Amino acid sequence: MTASREGPTIRSTFGPSSVRGPLVAAEAPISIEPGARVGPYEVVRPLGRGAHGQVYEARPAVDATDGRSADDTPAVALKVLHGLPEEARARLAREARAHAELRSPFVVPLLGTGEATLDSDESRVLWLAFELVVGGTLRAAMDDPSDPFDEERIASVGLELGRGLQALHAAGLVHRDLKPANVLVGDDGRCRIADLGMIRELGLLDASLASAELSSAGGFVGTVAYASPEQIEGREAGPQCDFWALGAILFELLAGAPPFARPNPFACAKAICVDRVPLGLVPVRWRPLLQRLLARDPARRLASADELVHELDLLLAAPSTAPRNRSGVQWLLRYGRTWESPGPLGRILVAAGAAALVLLLLWLVSLPASS
């Protein structure tokens, strides 16, 4: 039994036999009001919005809980996607099935997926129900100056993400959009990989520069900073692109900014494909691992997530050091260039500085000696 509710109601349709024709984009962004039904779930409140969908906190509807109150059942994070073509819907269903079979404490579990139709305009949507993680994102933790990361904590984060990638890759999945905003940190302190790359695989999240985000201050904080060279160049991206992204996250945790952070996403993308990794900005013991994770050629990166977990286990077992003062390093990465590849203006400035230094020395030599 379903009680009447204010706002749009949604009825569920499941399985290929209930689908007639391709999914099409709604004329306006879909907004689902609290209390509306999406499949077996009832929306509680919105959590976030993207270009092709929204995420809501939701609970199983009363008629889907064997008569129990919805308040007595666990809440979920319900992602509702719209505007999907038929091929994208089929590929999403395949990868969702693989994701649903994952059993890893370091990947946010997928609890179910299905299709639903908006009663208001007959627009069909896809929904995916994930475990609702109480906590925050790794991005928020990294931006909190009151709780800095020491090397032991950084190694723990890397190990948890490495084990999450281990599970994903073993299931035949590649994330393709691993970044701090897509890592959830629960109240228990454990990192969990979220927002899986099935959406990126479907082309719904463009890996091009158009998907970049800029902060209000103009500093780059979006996807490109963690994208691998092969993704930026439009080449095939396999599991090794996830290793690159993890390397960029670890570098940022150690140095204060991603390795190729620049004032704008275009310069960032160029640096990823051309510049050398400024390994001198991170502790010496991290450099061999980061050099392999951030190798421009995917074939030169780590061969598997098993190897990654082994390397991070060794780092975690080694003595850690205190958190570093990273403000200067962060400025250099965001607004400077690495010495390995100075631009034309940089070469001119270096030459001018050297000439000025020579003239100063000559002037000092020419001064008469004091009696």
- pLDDT, one tens digit for every residue, the chain (371 residues): 333 333 333 333 333 322 222 333 334 557 788 888 888 999 999 988 765 678 899 999 877 555 555 566 789 999 888 777 777 777 777 778 778 888 899 999 999 888 887 655 567 788 889 999 999 999 999 999 898 999 999 999 999 999 999 999 998 888 888 999 999 999 999 999 988 755 555 544 443 443 444 333 333 334 799 999 999 988 888 999 999 999 999 999 999 999 999 988 899 999 999 999 999 999 999 999 999 999 999 999 999 999 999 999 888 887 665 555 454 455 455 444 443 444 566 567 767 777 888 787 777 777 776 54
Q: How far apart are CA 283 and CA 287, in angstroms?
A: 7
CB contact at 8 A, 81 and 105: no
Q: Please state the separation of Cα 228 from the chain's center in Å.
A: 12
Q: Is 177 a catalytic residue?
A: yes
Q: Please state the separation of Cα 344 from the chain's center in Å.
A: 33
Residue 162 makes CB contacts below 8 A (sequence gap 6+) with: 246, 305, 308, 309, 312
Catalytic-labelled residue, pool 143, 150, 177, 242:
177
Using the structure block, give the residue that is written with the tokens 């421009």.
Answer: 296
Backbone torsions φ then ψ of 16, nearest 5 degrees: -60, -30
Q: How far apart are CA 276 and CA 346, in angstroms?
A: 16
